[in-house]
Structure 1
């Protein structure tokens, strides 16, 4: 579940923390009133974790990393494809007047793109995150409809929780490895 590279674990805490706060924010589009304190607390925890991860990554920037010239190029391609597929899908959903499906679409693309990222970084925790985010994306619409909730609230909360737990886990892994 762990990586031995402090810099990579810390940078993962930064990235997952940053994006967890974004997902908690997206969930605030139309959540049940009782969810708001949880979403705000999740955002705060995510941003604190991102800050700590960023500082630790910066401190260990000269240490080892899974990224070399080949890995960095492949990572860039994977992320570029992710952004392109997410954007095209969001555009198609907007044209079809199905904007409520944008959040689960983006979560699905994010979940799927994390599988090759996990392999590139040789960081098994990211495989778990990929699987869980993918499951959240696929389950969000039926769960939201069954409970009369906004789809963005369901997918935002679910994805935010997965990412903040992974961010905190990565930060702990980095601190223990340090």
Structure 2
């Protein structure tokens, strides 16, 4: 059973495109030595392939649409994403100014996790809530690990966020209906 909106095939493609792209970005955060570095590269390549497949799926005709409801939804989506980028950007600047740059990935991961909560009802995808929870828990885990050990927050958060976003992107494609 699918919880995606009416244009679910198109939406699943967009989800895979966006989250596949951002998973690639997260996999590039950790500075790691071999063999870990090779696994991060594999994750990045898998994420980019997922993003490309998502682009192909989302690019196919999706039928009628583009009404006032779609414009209102698009506006709300853009506002949520702008707020996310603003919060992450301002927070990153503040952390850098306080000489706590190593915690920027933790902050960004938490902000990304939080932004999935208003997106879940907007995109009619309740599975975004567990993804948001997982991202916030990951941010907290990255902070704890960084404070309690020599492992950087970037390694924990970058790898974990890449895996979570890639996994979600793949499952969005898998649960999409075969026909639009």
Report if TM-score (shorter chain) is over 0.5.
Answer: yes
Distance of 1:57 and 1:45 partners within structure 2: 18
Distance of 1:85 and 1:101 partners within structure 2: 14
C-alpha change, 1:64 and 1:9, in structure 2 (3 Å) is farther
Distance of 2:108 and 2:33 partners within structure 1: 22
Cα deviation 1:91-128 (Å, max 9, x = unaligned): 00010000001011011111001110111001122112
Q: Give 1:93's match in structure 2, choosing from 92, 95, 98.
A: 95
Q: CA deviation at 1:143?
A: 2.1
Structure 2 residue matching 1:133: 3-state secondary structure:
helix
Q: CA deviation at 1:176?
A: 3.8
1:130 aligns with 2:141: no
Q: CA deviation at 1:17?
A: 0.4
Name the residue aligned to 2:29: 26
Match runs of 1:69-148 below 5 Å: 69-148=71-150
Is residue 17–residue 53 contact of structure 2 (8 Å, CA) maintained in 1? yes
1:46 aligns with 2:44: no
- Give the aligned CA root-mean-square deviation in angstroms: 2.0
Distance of 2:81 and 2:120 partners within structure 1: 12
Distance of 1:40 and 1:177 partners within structure 2: 33
C-alpha change, 1:64 and 1:173, in structure 2 (3 Å) is farther
Distance of 2:60 and 2:17 partners within structure 1: 13
Distance of 2:147 and 2:100 partners within structure 1: 14
The size of the alignment, in residue pairs, is: 176
Tell me, which stretches of 5 or more residues in structure 2 are unaligned? none
Q: CA deviation at 1:68?
A: 1.0
C-alpha change, 1:60 and 1:128, in structure 2 (3 Å) is farther
Q: CA deviation at 1:75?
A: 1.0
Q: CA deviation at 1:64?
A: 5.9
Name the residue aligned to 2:155: 153
Name the residue aligned to 1:162: 164
Is residue 7–residue 64 contact of structure 1 (8 Å, CA) maintained in 2? no
Moved over 3 A (4+): 60-65, 144-147, 175-178
Name the residue aligned to 2:58: 57
Q: Which has the higher helix share?
A: 1
